[in-house]
Structure 1
């Protein structure tokens, strides 16, 4: 069953509700990585949040969420593009020991130097054009706290996020008040009442509940008395741009002498993707083919 993001509007169109289920995508995220459960769950929550936020950005490119820390975690990066294709990784400092009691602040902001960065990176940037970056301090005990504060301060959008993750699933629920433009389509008093009601309903949501039931059931439990406008579900999937061919190109850049030196020590060359951790192994024959002068070497490499 495919992972999906689902969107709803309140009948008065004053607020949006979104859910995302990352099960297969989450398993692919973890396929080549082994994380402490605290790190794994933190990465899962940020991954679910990235999909929820990226789905509301209308542009050709990627939303990148970065948490930079001065503690056990050096960097967390989650990227989600306009097709809701996701990739995510964590870089840790080996001198630290991760504890079961660690949280966002102890892992990333122990010395108050942690930062949360939102990047909007268009696919076809013009020469000299920079990706948009929004930087905010790491205020709050959870990913949801940090992101809700960012949405309110930087985007002027009241937003509540409910995120949860374990070894099987990452999931998220977003509640967001839509801007009031002063037109006749949304009555301000009605909109305020809807927001207050919806906020009270979603505040009952617990991570254990999100992880134990499906998102459709959760929406029904929370909003069974409301009239919601449902939109078609959108597929979510894992995607990393690493490939054997890219690793081969990198080894070619090292040069034949350097490659032979590594082989002399290790009998093979193993390169893991910096992002997803997928390993690529080149034995003596594979490495020799890299430096053959004709194109048949590349064809043989791809088939190996």
Structure 2
């Protein structure tokens, strides 16, 4: 298992508090391989990618969790997603990025940040994240405190080589005094990016919480994987409709669909449209 692309859960045996750790290196590189993002965009998108893995730890079913934002600022689209199997991908669209950016509001402008949980079976869920704090981690903390009534600490880091994150959260029905939570939160916030991405999870937890009884669960590998496919593109063409599809082929010779996540190209000729729309060949 790649030690640099791992997701870990842990719990405090004597407290009603749980936690998670994630580090992304090769998966980060693979997810960004097709794009040359400015530093500010890469940092925000890398933090979102780490956050999507941390938040996916709440999934109790097969599905996808995504963080998505659309705004009227320099960053017009931001999306990071993680599946139940810790497969990740991310993308951003941007224009006229200033040299210095100090807050998420300056990047996204007026917009909306949304968590979407899309199970393979069952109904989709969406939660709106208020963008009232200056960074992504603080916005996510507010969301859990206000919408889920679960006090949460989220730490996110990113540079040009990778991303990492840590989550600490009260369990539902938390009944302990605030002193316990405040003490553990203060310890968690002392972690550095370098420690998160270089030390084994066991050492990280010992360094932070050596006076606590902490149970660490086995690590889960994280990797880049794009969910695009010929079948999905075929479904998109079906949704377009036969009239429009045949018109495009007549004008262009083929229909070409490019995946913005992985740069895969899918090409459809008239003969394939005949199969899709069950059109009999001309004799």
> Does the CA-based 8 Å contact 1:247-1:280 persist in structure 2?
no
> Aligned to 1:20, what secondary structure does the other structure show?
strand
CA distance in 1 between partners of 2:214 and 2:174 (Å): 21
Q: Does 1:118 align with 2:115?
A: yes
Q: Which residue of 2 aligns with 1:138?
A: 131
Q: Which residue of 1 aligns with 2:263?
A: 278
Aligned residues: 270
Equivalence map 1:13-28=2 (5 Å): 13-28=15-30
Q: Quote how far apart the aligned CAs of 1:151 are.
A: 0.6
Q: Does 1:8 align with 2:10?
A: yes
> Does the CA-based 8 Å contact 1:148-1:160 persist in structure 2?
yes
> Does the CA-based 8 Å contact 1:65-1:79 persist in structure 2?
yes
Equivalence map 1:73-84=2 (5 Å): 73-84=75-86
> Aligned to 2:222, what secondary structure does the other structure show?
strand
Q: Quote how far apart the aligned CAs of 1:195 are.
A: 1.5
Correspondent of 2:181 among 186, 192, 195: 195
CA distance in 1 between partners of 2:18 and 2:34 (Å): 35
> Does the CA-based 8 Å contact 1:48-1:170 persist in structure 2?
yes
Q: Which residue of 2 aligns with 1:258?
A: 248
Which sections of structure 1, spanning at least 5 residues, go unmatched? 183-187, 295-304
CA distance in 1 between partners of 2:221 and 2:187 (Å): 27
TM-score, normalised to structure 1's length?
Answer: 0.77
> Does the CA-based 8 Å contact 2:154-2:167 persist in structure 1?
yes
Are residues 269 and 33 of structure 1, via their aligned partners in 2, closer, same or farther at CA, if it must alter by over 3 Å?
farther
CA distance in 2 between partners of 1:259 and 1:146 (Å): 45
Which sections of structure 2, spanning at least 5 residues, go unmatched? 277-283
> Does the CA-based 8 Å contact 2:130-2:143 persist in structure 1?
no
Q: Does 1:235 align with 2:221?
A: yes
CA distance in 2 between partners of 1:31 and 1:62 (Å): 22
> Aligned to 1:241, what secondary structure does the other structure show?
coil
Q: Quote how far apart the aligned CAs of 1:225 are.
A: 3.0
CA distance in 2 between partners of 1:8 and 1:35 (Å): 33
Q: C-alpha root-mean-square deviation of aligned residues, in Å?
A: 2.9
CA distance in 2 between partners of 1:239 and 1:33 (Å): 15
CA distance in 1 between partners of 2:153 and 2:174 (Å): 21
> Does the CA-based 8 Å contact 1:66-1:78 persist in structure 2?
yes
Q: Quote how far apart the aligned CAs of 1:181 are.
A: 5.9
CA distance in 2 between partners of 1:105 and 1:61 (Å): 30
CA offset digits 1:19-46 (Å, max 9, x no partner)? 0111222122112122111111111111
Q: Does 1:167 align with 2:160?
A: yes
Q: Does 1:210 align with 2:196?
A: yes
TM-score, normalised to structure 2's length?
Answer: 0.82
Q: Which residue of 2 aligns with 1:299?
A: none
> Does the CA-based 8 Å contact 1:148-1:159 persist in structure 2?
yes
Q: Quote how far apart the aligned CAs of 1:246 are.
A: 4.6
CA distance in 2 between partners of 1:289 and 1:197 (Å): 66
Q: Which residue of 2 aligns with 1:223?
A: 209
Q: Quote how far apart the aligned CAs of 1:116 are.
A: 1.7
> Aligned to 1:198, what secondary structure does the other structure show?
helix
> Does the CA-based 8 Å contact 2:130-2:142 persist in structure 1?
no
Q: Which residue of 1 aligns with 2:99?
A: 99
Q: Which residue of 1 aligns with 2:279?
A: none
Q: Quote how far apart the aligned CAs of 1:236 are.
A: 2.1
Q: Which residue of 2 aligns with 1:150?
A: 143
